[in-house]
């Protein structure tokens, strides 16, 4: 991811999460990727494309990312028992994904421990969900344990202790980004969603310690995605 960011001079990861009719959604996603691929550091896909089309159905997007050496992140927020989690990552990495976003709430033993081991053996990355960008995020991630520590800090500590490669922290919560950076150290990437359509500020997020901005609608719903991306990069 860092190599891609350096070669493309970009800190933007494209959230290729499109809405709309199923008979045109995939084609729209492929068009957007085609015009912005030289200016993004990586691509993130979630259920918007994976559910209706499946891993085989998004083959065109996978091929472009591989040909362009664009890191590809699966945003499934994996959160199940280990056997199911392992099946998920087996499928994703067999089709060429480079990293997967998981929910550390599920725990390590018979949860994420085997996922971390298996993904790292494949040379891939595991990204922990630490703080989301929607309005209700505080209702969950700010919950406090009996000792008073908020849940998002626990998740950041798990990322450091369990050897996660990255974390997701909302760009709308610059204080949380700053705290998370202090906890995870220098060798864990911070990916921040919530820029643009949700009101987050990319400059503030990067200044607080984020490495990459996860940006979707500002680019994908623009009449000119390449121009929208250029504005963000500037």
Active site residues: 77
Residues 77 and 124: their CA atoms lie apart, in Å, by: 16
Helix segments in 37-150, DSSP class H: 47-57, 59-68, 82-94, 113-121, 137-141
Q: Nearest CA to 188 among 131, 129, 127, 141?
A: 127
At residue 12, φ and ψ (nearest 5 deg) are: -100, 130
The residues near 192 (Cβ < 8 Å, ≥ 6 apart) are 133, 168, 169, 170, 171, 177, 200, 205, 210, 212, 213, 214
- The gap from C-alpha 133 to its chain's centroid, in whole angstroms, comes to 12
Q: Nearest CA to 221 among 11, 14, 64, 72?
A: 14
The residues near 148 (Cβ < 8 Å, ≥ 6 apart) are none
Structural contact between residues 141 and 152, judged by C-beta atoms closer than 8 angstroms = yes
The residues near 4 (Cβ < 8 Å, ≥ 6 apart) are 41, 42, 69, 70, 71
């Amino acid at each position: 991811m860092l190599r891609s960011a350096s070669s493309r001079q970009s800190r933007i990861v494209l959230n290729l999460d499109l809405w709309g009719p199923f008979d045109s959604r995939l084609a729209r996603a492929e068009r957007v990727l085609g015009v912005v691929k030289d200016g993004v550091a990586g691509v993130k896909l979630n259920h918007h494309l994976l559910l209706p089309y499946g891993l085989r159905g998004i083959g065109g997007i996978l091929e472009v990312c591989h040909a362009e050496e664009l890191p590809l992140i699966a945003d499934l927020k994996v959160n199940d028992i280990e056997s199911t989690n392992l099946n998920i990552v087996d499928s994703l990495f067999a089709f060429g994904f480079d990293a997967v976003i998981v929910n550390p709430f599920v725990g390590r033993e018979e949860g994420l421990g085997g996922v971390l081991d298996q993904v790292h053996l494949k040379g891939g990355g595991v990204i922990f969900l630490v703080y989301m960008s929607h309005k209700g995020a505080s209702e969950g991630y700010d919950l406090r344990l009996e000792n008073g520590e908020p849940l998002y800090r626990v998740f950041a500590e798990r990322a450091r202790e369990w050897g996660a490669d990255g974390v997701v922290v909302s760009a709308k919560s610059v204080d949380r980004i700053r705290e998370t950076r202090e906890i995870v150290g220098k060798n864990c990437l911070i990916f921040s969603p919530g820029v643009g359509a949700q009101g987050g500020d990319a400059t503030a997020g990067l200044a607080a310690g984020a490495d990459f901005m996860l940006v979707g609608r500002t680019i994908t719903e623009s009449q000119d995605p390449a121009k929208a991306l250029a504005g963000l990069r500037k």
